[in-house]
Amino acid sequence: MPAIQSPATEEIHPDVALVARAKAGDTAAFEQLVRQYERQIFRVAQHITQNREDAEDITQDAFLKAYEKLDQFQGNSKFSTWLVRIAVNESLMRLRKRKTSKTVSMDEDVQTEEGSIPRDFAEWRPNPEQQYNQAELADILRKTIQGLPPGFRSVFTLRDVENLSTEETAEALGLSVPAVKSRLLRARLQLRERLSRYFRKKQEGQPA
Partner 1 sequence: MNCTDLLSHLSDYFDEQLSADLRNEIQAHTDSCQHCRVVLNTTRQTIEVYKGNELYEVSTELRERLHTAIMAKCLAKKAHP
**How many residues sit in the footprint of partner 1 (CB under 8 A)?**
50
State how far the Cα of 13 lies from the Cα of 174, in Å rounded to an integer: 23
Query: What Å distances lie between residue 119 and 85, 116, 148, 168, 190, CA to CA?
Result: 34, 9, 17, 31, 10
Q: Does residue 88 touch partner 1 according to CB under 8 A?
A: no
Site string for partner 1, 61-80 (x = CB under 8 A): --xx--xx------------
Site string for partner 1, 103-142 (x = CB under 8 A): ---------------x-xxxxx--xxx----x--xx--xx
Q: Does residue 191 touch partner 1 according to CB under 8 A?
A: yes
Contact 158, 164 (CB under 8 A): yes
Nearer to partner 1, 77 or 196 (CB): 196
Nearer to partner 1, 27 or 176 (CB): 27
Nearer to partner 1, 9 or 31 (CB): 31
Contact 56, 47 (CB under 8 A): no
Give Cβ neighbours of residue 201 (< 8 Å, ≥ 6 apart). Answer: 122, 123, 124, 125
Of residues 104, 115, 156, 171, which one binds partner 1 by CB under 8 A?
156
State how far the Cα of 20 lies from the Cα of 26, in Å rounded to an integer: 9
Contact 106, 175 (CB under 8 A): yes
Q: Output the smallest distance, CB 93 to partner 1, in A.
A: 18
Q: Does residue 23 touch partner 1 according to CB under 8 A?
A: no
Of residues 56, 108, 114, 167, which one binds partner 1 by CB under 8 A?
56
